[in-house]
Structure 1
Amino acid sequence: MPGRCPRTPPGPALRAAGTALLVPGYTGSKEDFIAMLQPLADAGYRAVAVDGRGQYETEGPDDEQAYEQGELARDVLAQARAVAESGPVHLLGHSLGGQIARAAVLLDATPFATLTLVSSGPAEVSPAQQQKIKLLGDALRVMDMGRVWDAMRALDPPEDADDARSDREDLRRRWLLHRPAQLLATGRQLTVEPDRVDELRALRPALPVHVVSGVRDDTWPVPLLDAMAERLGAHRTRVDGAEHSPNTDRPVETARAVGAFWDGVQSRD
């Protein structure tokens, strides 16, 4: 399924370096990568960030089965084929997007030069996050998206109330255009995802893997991500000053780390 995406313009140098395909996480959208686009372009990469099926500006049905992980993984493969003319495709997924990206390469790794998992763990999310997802799912089944948004904001810690009004309105607009069926289906995936690390390791060394996180993470504890990287024999980066979303917490530093990883892989080829 095609999706709307911000991208950097594909000049000659960018085509030579390759394309980064960026897949957002649960409740996220392509805008979660906006601050990384220019740094990646400066590093010589064409960057394409996408909304997944049913996320923000990409259409999606009201049938939860349409958002099964295999369906979403096949969307990623279609997107990779669409951008592959610009050179090697470096697949990057944040959180839920990392698990969808992992499913995509396990279906067919041939379109991809590398896989980067950003704050995306080996299996299901932590028990505390499972409880939050259950509460959100229960609310989505009885309330419209606007009322759910208001309820979530009422639970925010006081310091979050200082967010700029324009930023808060932008997040609200994105939230309202998500399909509830997408949130219900992908939330359930996050709570039951099996450990597929051994399957992914079987693709090594043909598919280099990079595990990126902040220095704190309540969704998958950082030591768990360290252990996953070790099991995979993957490159590992912790981004100082970042938590679950290094792409928004420290976008320049995150772009620098993933660009250096891609450069290193291409220099070995």
Structure 2
Amino acid sequence: MSTPRFLTLPPGVRSRRIETAVGAFAALEAIPVSGVPERRPALLVPGLTGSKEDFIAVLQTLAQSGRQVVAIDMRGQFETGGPDDRSAYTCAALGNDVDVLAQVIGHGAPVHLVGHSFGGLVTREAVIDGRTRFASYTLMSSGPAAIVGPRARAGRFMISELPEQGLEHMWHTRMEPEAMAAGVSDEIVAFLRKRLFANSVTGMFAMTEEVLSAADRCDELTQVEVPTLVLYGEHDDGWPPHMQAEMAHRLDADCVVVPGAAHSPAVEAPETTAAALIRFWNAAENPLRN
């Protein structure tokens, strides 16, 4: 579970809804405080139990590099509605949403794409399907296949308790105690509860099944010509760091390890994470990049 450190929107960041042919998506949009966006825009996609708010700490810095930056709630997440239909929450279906959103945000031109955790499994569908050309692609704290370790165990526990116990039980027995033990402020705890209960239960169940069963698609991803970055915290408790490093090697991708961060570098080390993304994006836009 990603835990935003604060919820106040910084200058240049606003809430909006993005209308597309496949529905409306809740988003946070950042633009430079002064001047106009002169570089390629970026689309940020959160993880399974996350939302657009997980990127608040990096949005202003990213936008100040001269670009529009948009973080979204995926279908069925927090403030984006979703149907009571499990097939709407497969990686392929959610990846189609990313395709459509990227085309709307970029007005047909390539955008930089970032997928965090489960969002990495979703966004790679959009990269692999070839219907949209991206300026670059970043896998943030994501992996080559199904999640492993403690977060996999948490996912299996979620699947076992959701049908019978529901969100209330999951909140009181796991999520709230974890937040309190981590010293999260009352304001953020209230937000986490609001976010959890706004999610589609069907969507959470289906997406959890997806993250626990995802196939390795690295070989397919290597066939796509797009500058790629693998970025993760040195203490990641999702996909182990060594697994993400191996994935970066297989993809012939740039690799950045964020010191001191765990599974949510944009929350835990926002300035380091934003600086790494800006360097990578600027290099990807350089026509002389090798």
Say whether the 8 Å CA contact 1:15–1:87 is kept in structure 2.
no
- 1:20-71: CA deviations, max 9, x gaps? 1000001110000111110001111210000000000000112212111111
Say whether the 8 Å CA contact 2:48–2:208 is kept in structure 1.
yes
With structure 1 as the length reference, what TM-score do the two structures score?
0.93
Partner of 1:200: 221
Match for residue 39 of structure 1 among 61, 73, 76:
61
1:163 aligns with 2:163: no
Structure 2 matches for 1:2-21, cutoff 5 A? 2-9=24-31, 14-21=36-43
Q: CA deviation at 1:134?
A: 1.2
Distance 1:142 1:46 in 2: 43
Q: CA deviation at 1:9?
A: 3.1
Q: Which secondary structure state, in structure 2, belongs to the residue aligned with residue 48 of structure 1? A: strand
The ranges of structure 1 where at least 4 consecutive aligned residues each deviate by more than 4 angstroms after the TM superposition are 10-14
CA change 1:163–1:10 in 2 (3 A) is closer
Distance 1:192 1:185 in 2: 11
1:256 aligns with 2:275: yes
Q: CA deviation at 1:137?
A: 1.3
Percent of aligned pairs sharing the same letter: 36
Greater share of residues in helix? 1
CA change 1:123–1:14 in 2 (3 A) is farther
Structure 2 matches for 1:117-196, cutoff 5 A? 117-153=139-175, 156=178, 159-160=181-182, 162-196=183-217
Q: Which secondary structure state, in structure 1, belongs to the residue aligned with residue 43 of structure 2? A: strand
Say whether the 8 Å CA contact 1:16–1:87 is kept in structure 2.
no
1:213 aligns with 2:235: no
Distance 1:158 1:72 in 2: 32
With structure 2 as the length reference, what TM-score do the two structures score?
0.87
Match for residue 229 of structure 1 among 224, 239, 248:
248
Q: Which secondary structure state, in structure 1, belongs to the residue aligned with residue 78 of structure 2? A: coil
Residue-pair matches, total: 266
CA change 1:253–1:154 in 2 (3 A) is closer
Q: Residue type of the partner of 1:186?
A: M
Q: CA deviation at 1:7?
A: 0.5
5+ long unaligned stretches in structure 1: none
1:113 aligns with 2:135: yes
Distance 2:179 2:206 in 1: 27
Q: Which secondary structure state, in structure 1, belongs to the residue aligned with residue 24 of structure 2? A: coil
Distance 1:72 1:193 in 2: 14
Q: CA deviation at 1:86?
A: 8.7
Partner of 1:72: 94
- 1:199-224: CA deviations, max 9, x gaps? 10111xx3010000000112111011
Partner of 2:46: 24
Q: CA deviation at 1:152?
A: 1.3
Distance 1:51 1:129 in 2: 21
- 1:94-153: CA deviations, max 9, x gaps? 000011000111112633111000000001111432221111112110123233211113
5+ long unaligned stretches in structure 2: 1-22
Partner of 2:106: 84
Q: Residue type of the partner of 2:27?
A: C
Say whether the 8 Å CA contact 1:17–1:45 is kept in structure 2.
yes
Q: CA deviation at 1:158?
A: 6.6
Say whether the 8 Å CA contact 2:98–2:126 is kept in structure 1.
yes
Q: Residue type of the partner of 2:275?
A: R
Structure 2 matches for 1:236-255, cutoff 5 A? 236-255=255-274
